[in-house]
Structure 1
Amino acid sequence: MARSKKTQAIVDGTLAMAVPDDTVGLGVDIVEIERIRKIIKRSPAFVEKVYSAAERAYCDDHAHPEVHYATRFAAKEAVLKALGTGFSEGIRPLDVEVRRTAKGRPYVVLTGQAREVARHQNVREIPISLSFTHTDAVACAMAITDESVAAQERRRDPMEELTRQFKEARTFLDELPASEGSGSSGAA
């Protein structure tokens, strides 16, 4: 469907909104499940070096633990990408732990150097999303900082702004003097 130049300019302007630097970090990672299965088979110590006891218990409690190990590894990578560090600055895989709420929603707990990096960046929360197919595990993480929350609060909601403008226009029209002798019967 072709767009008018005006519509396209609006779309382009919306898509080109500037996001303040260092206010939100986004990380995505994909891990091949078969690769994790082979690593675990070849080196069983891998799971103890990379996953917490709670993560191991969760994964091992499933029929195909390699799927859940791969998903958690992808989550650890995605979180560290969102922080902008990867496994550097002294951060270890065990510094990022994936847990689940009572309702099953995954969330991240940072410890050690990962926690220090997040504090230094004023990270308020790191929501994560996990998924997998028959072959791949994928995770997405977003490091939300105090600054990003403040910037969001400063932004005007487009609907609120439109409502405000409509009320201003209506007030302006209501304040216009009625023309005498218009003979308006109220029907348009």
Structure 2
Amino acid sequence: MAVASDSVGLGVDIVEIERMARIIKRSPAFTEKVYSAAERAYCDGHAHPEVHYATRFAAKEAVLKALGTGFSEGIGWLDVEVRRTSKGRPYVVLTGRAREVAREMGVREIPISLSYTHTDAVACAMAITDESVAAQKRRRDPMEELTRQFKEARSFLDELPANEGGRE
């Protein structure tokens, strides 16, 4: 299946949890520069906050890779925030320049997936644009297309005059 390169952006990032722990220990102000108050409260509310800081850091990077910008075009760390629904599903909120860039690109949704092991945190993000949704609607399901073609052929056969005399 071919998809236009401007229709969907994909970003993946991985962060070493121990490296994040060292950064936080060395420079406590790091968390205030990179994470919103809500993100800090969430991370600090866990027994191993470095795991959650690393996961959110990976998510911010993955989102900006999906947008194709990285931290350029005036986008800052706080322009990408990871939140959770009441059921715990993570989602992204864009503000500032990140939101402007996403709107300019026609991005309508950025689903994310977060995971971690005992050593690494990983995040995946997909920037889904209005164009990608429209392209999906234009594509036909192969079975629906086959059914349509069959009905069209059957209709054509039904319209042929009956053979008089039984000969072909």
Matched, 1:62 2:46: yes
Q: 2:61 aligns to what?
A: 77
Q: 1:112 aligns to what?
A: 96
How far is 1:167 from its partner? 2.5
How far is 1:21 from its partner? 2.7
Q: Which amino acid aligns with 1:160?
A: E
RCO greater where, 1 or 2, for CA within 8 Å and sep 6 or more?
2
How far is 1:170 from its partner? 3.9
Q: CA RMSD in A?
A: 1.8
Q: 2:76 aligns to what?
A: 92
What does the per-residue CA deviation read over 1:82-127, in whole Å, with 9 as the maximum and x for residues that have no partner?
Answer: 0111011111111000001111111000011111111111111111
Q: Which amino acid aligns with 2:116?
A: F
2 CA distance for matches of 1:174 and 1:66? 70
Q: 1:167 aligns to what?
A: 151
Local SS of the residue matching 1:117: helix
How far is 1:175 from its partner? 5.4
Q: 2:24 aligns to what?
A: 40
2 CA distance for matches of 1:76 and 1:180? 77
Name stretches of at least 5 consecutive residues in structure 2 with no aligned partner: none
How far is 1:150 from its partner? 1.1
1 CA distance for matches of 2:158 and 2:51? 65
Q: Which amino acid aligns with 1:127?
A: P
Aligned length in residues: 166
Matched, 1:155 2:139: yes
Instruction: Please tell me whether Structure 1 or Structure 2 has the larger radius of gyration of its CA atoms.
Output: 1
